[in-house]
Structure 1
């Protein structure tokens, strides 16, 4: 098995996320011991951003780092755990709202593919980008 970064890179559906993680200098964290849970936006989520937003974020590393850290939860939180909780604290410091009433949702993002296991945690593919409170793009 591979770590979170390698697994995301090899999946082929998280290319933009991997690029952003590298730009924000978060590779070392996500290759660390963990475990970590990453709610990972698929490439299509980034494509739906307003034109020029991604390029702007790639130039604004502190903001990019904050947004990406909001997608990471300390610990190994799998789909069977998502049913038991209604929120999860993030590495960024804010809390994600978990809804498992009809499938799985994190804030307003739909979990497309849960439980992609890695050596140092788990990835859940999501359909949109999560934004910390008080931030918009």
Structure 2
């Protein structure tokens, strides 16, 4: 029974209200914890699907790549080459992003050598070959076409007649949307022709 608004609530009634509040909190805690755990599990299981669908488009290319978890070498290289700010810029950009496995497939010692400060320009040149500036090129625009496109460091050949190939690299996952562009995951590192 609730006392009238203007009546005095003495210590015995207050003790009961506190006890009742504590009991309700303890009862609700497991349900709340279960809801939080479900949310975490749902997020972990849907990260890749959300990236592919472009549901995380509020993140830029760098943050999207970092969240995907398979581009640590690419991000380390972009940092060493001084290109992170450009990849976080307004865009639009199209990035052909080699996976960690693609970098690991290079001859032994190549990545370590490229990451040395004295090789910053060479590393930047390689990474710029993976970036088309000024447009957000999606896989539907490439389907059925064979063309040559300008990157920030020369041209690459794109063959969209059977999947999508960029030079000799295969696009293994297309159209990962970011706020400032699109990422196409490739299975090889593109290297300049000379």
- TM-score bracket, shorter-length normalisation: over 0.9
> Residue 67 of structure 1 aligns with which residue?
126
Q: Which structure carries more relative contact order (alpha carbon 8 Å, separation 6+)? A: 1
Secondary structure in structure 2 of the residue aligned to 1:44: helix
* TM-score of the pair, normalised by structure 2: 0.67
Q: How does 1:58-97 map to 2 (within 5 A)?
A: 58-59=115-116, 60-74=119-133, 75-83=135-143, 84=145, 86-92=147-153, 94-97=154-157
Partner Cα separation in structure 1 for residue 99 and residue 139 of structure 2:
18
Counting matched residue pairs gives: 133
5+ long unaligned stretches in structure 2: 1-57
Instruction: Say whether the 8 Å CA contact 2:146–2:161 is kept in structure 1.
Output: no
* TM-score of the pair, normalised by structure 1: 0.94
> Residue 11 of structure 1 aligns with which residue?
68
Give 2:179's match in structure 1, choosing from 119, 126, 130: 119
Structure 1 runs, 4 residues or longer, greater than 2 Å off: none
| Alpha-carbon offset, residue 85 of structure 1 | 5.4
5+ long unaligned stretches in structure 1: none
